Structure 1
Amino acid sequence: MRDVSDEISALRKRHHEAATYLKIDELRARRPQLETEASRPDLWDDADKARQVTGELSSVTDDLEAYDALGARIDDVEVLAELAREEHDDSVAAEIEDALKALAADFSALELRSLFTGEHDELDAICEVQSGEGGADAQDFANMLLRMYLRWAERRGFDVELDEVSEGSEAGISSATFMVKGRHAYGLLRSEHGVHRLVRMSPFNAQGKRQTAFAALKVTPFLEDVPDIVIDDKDLRIDTYRSSGAGGQHVNVTDSAVRITHLPTGTVSSCQNERSQHQNKDRAMQVLKAKLAELERQKREDELNAIRGTQHSVGFGSQIRSYVMQPYQMVKDLRSEHETGNVDGVFDGALDDFMEAFLRWQRSESLAVD
């Protein structure tokens, strides 16, 4: 059996590095404090505080258990390799190789955590898909992107709440708003914020000519408590309307849809997926406050790309990623330069490699500036 001591040493090093970027010492000190708070009989007298405590405790526990489990697995494979070497037993060689590969893959997934450096990366994400230049193809492309992100969230085990969908005038959708709920949802999805470009043989062109279409995704961190945002009622226009999904595909048709416009900034928030008009209004106000909080952060930092990146028109020359279906098959991110020929897989939600490539590119860019 081959000597695997160098690989085990490399895994030990990665485990030691994980203690640094996961802040294991801080987490071990924090867990008993959170456990004490979570066990208080009056915890749920303040529901918001209770959710904060239990959510933090869950995250801390998950990180500590993941870290400790990796250390134990390294110990196990090291003991197995030593016994096999001492007894000249090659029958466990395949088991050892599989264990080393699994550990390497799990460390790669864990190391993604070190790339989450944004203030709000752990939060849920509010996402808005919007069709751009390209007519019916752009509206169809917007619907394709909506499905792509819903499939990606399903693959990751995230919960999704679809708040609003507006049908396209010719095909697909003109816009949609949805929330992705789960740890690091915003940290991952902020890599998708921007203009996306599709090149294909148009199904809407009688001559079957190649068509370029654009759609955009806007991503905002969802802040449940935004105490510094005060909204004057006179600054709001609240419209109610009859909601409609894309052919009944996405949302039920009701008379309770609500659209809120913040007149000073032109910020719009809509919801049509709750059971009542009152619930739709409450949800739309939550989303509006999150959007206005982001505008305030951008203003304070004096950087339009402080959180979501620079805004562009949804058209030529502004895309972050191209999806080419004709005359060849390729999806390429124009920032990280990550690419793949598996276009169908990407549209089916295989986005993790693009997200990780973006985060690594972003870190290298920040280091270059420093």
Structure 2
Amino acid sequence: MTPFRYEPLGQDDAARRGRLHTAHGTVETPAFMPVGTQATVKAMFPEDVAATGAEVVLGNTYHLMLRPTAERVSGLGGLHTFMRWNRTILTDSGGFQIMSLSGLRKLEEHGVAFQSHIDGSRHLLTPERSVEIQGLLGSDIQMQLDECVRLPAERKEVERGMRLSLRWAERSRAAFEAMDGPAKGQALFGIVQGGDDAGLRVESAAALSAMPFEGYSIGGLAVGEPQDVMLAMLDETLPVLPAEKPRYLMGVGTPHDIIEAVARGIDMFDCVMPTRAGRHGVAYTRFGKLNLKNARHADDPAPLDPESDCPAARDYSRAYLHHLVRCGEGLGAMLLTWNNIAYYQHLMKTLRTAIEQGRFAEVRAELGRLWAKG
């Protein structure tokens, strides 16, 4: 079994170029992970996701433990087989969804008891159970269970959540090693918490760095705070994390967020934004963001991008896409989602090449002018 490792390939100022080696292949970083919450990237075939250049997708512990259950997925050969994705899979711990989606929930030291948003059934998720579920799913990269405190919040509440997450990190790591995760070529990432308090972020990062995680995630950001706050937290946090390990900024984000986070040394991203936008008639392109609902596209025979390698961007007119969106046809959501995932992969490839060529500052400025307004 291929052991998990991060291979640094180069750096341009703080921006990093690297490669993840996993049991299901390599991932070039910086990388964007399409979100496949329920074992599917919405409105896309797995082979089309792969054709965009995506080398890793994200699945969700909370949703999959409820339906179809991790035990069922395991019995059917694991998540890779179940969803026909033979590349790398990352799963999150389920903690964020419990806090945001579940009905009744009770948080204690042992774990969190919650009521399913699907059928009201009651469940208990502990650090050990979260790792067990991710092991049953067979994901290559797994996350510790943490508590994501909603912002804005009082400092004492943010601190309480951060310290609980650190205690859960220790328990998650012990469970991961007891289940022979490293021997299976899997990785477990710790998650930095601390809200918008720089001191708490630094303390969390330092404590996690002393634990033998294969990588480190920054959680609890991109939850509504201004971009400058998110970037300020990265400025404080990243110097504390081990340079030889991958760094994952969870739930981010817009193209501009990604560009600025790469500039600070982030290696991995995920976000529902490109898929959700596609289902709502919005296209991301190298010319900017386009709302295909707008009447100005009704008579436009041009494609989204005639030079794109993606058929959705290259082969369909804006007029046709406008028609599909206005009629509520499913094909419109499929084509725009395909285009958006392809654009995000194109963006990541552009950033990787810029780092390799020592041109990151120039490319950052050029793309920043395009995306600074979202």
Alignment TM-score, normalising by the size of structure 2: 0.25
More helix by share: 1
TM-score of the two chains, using structure 1 as the length reference = 0.25
Q: Of the two structures, which has the highest relative contact order with CA contacts closer than 8 Å and spacing of 6 or more?
A: 2
Question: Which of structures 1 and 2 has the bigger CA Rg?
Answer: 1
